[in-house]
Amino acid sequence: MIKYLLYSSIVLLLIACGTAKRGEPAYAPLATTEPAVVQGKVVFDTFCHKCHPGGEAGLGPAINNKPLPGFLIRFQVRNGLGVMPAFSDKTISDSDLDVLVAYLKTLRKAKEDKPAQAP
């Protein structure tokens, strides 16, 4: 009985983590002409996309709507938080972390700039 409740809870939790608007971009198209943003997307896709697809909530919470300054983003990446692992400078170099922060700021701005849609 306990095993059944545990499995049911996990399934419900996974369903609740999904987005209601699958397939619809959560942000305006990104201007990816800036080299730092392009490289930051590569770093994001390599290390972050699995848990934060497109910056939205997935296995981890949404990260494209947090008004964190760059130094706090760097701190969280280096030290982790909750179930988020820490990424050392051997995994994500300082220069890669700089472009990742640039990409996340661009992603956040694109979400803020996306026009509101009627329900």
**What pLDDT digit, counting tens, does each position of 54-110 carry?**
888 888 888 877 788 999 999 999 999 888 899 999 999 999 999 999 999 888 887
Tally of CB atoms within 10 A around 113: 10
Expressed in percent and rounded to 5, the helix, strand and coil fractions of the chain are: 50, 0, 45
Distance of alpha carbon 77 from alpha carbon 63, whole angstroms: 12
Domains of the chain are 31-113 (1.10.760.10)
Predicted confidence band of residue 41 (pLDDT cuts 50, 70, 90) = very high
Counting beta carbons within 10 angstroms of the beta carbon of residue 116, is it exposed (0 to 12), middle (13 to 18) or buried (19 or more)? Answer: exposed
What is the spatial distance between Cα 52 and Cα 32, in angstroms, rounded to a whole number? 19
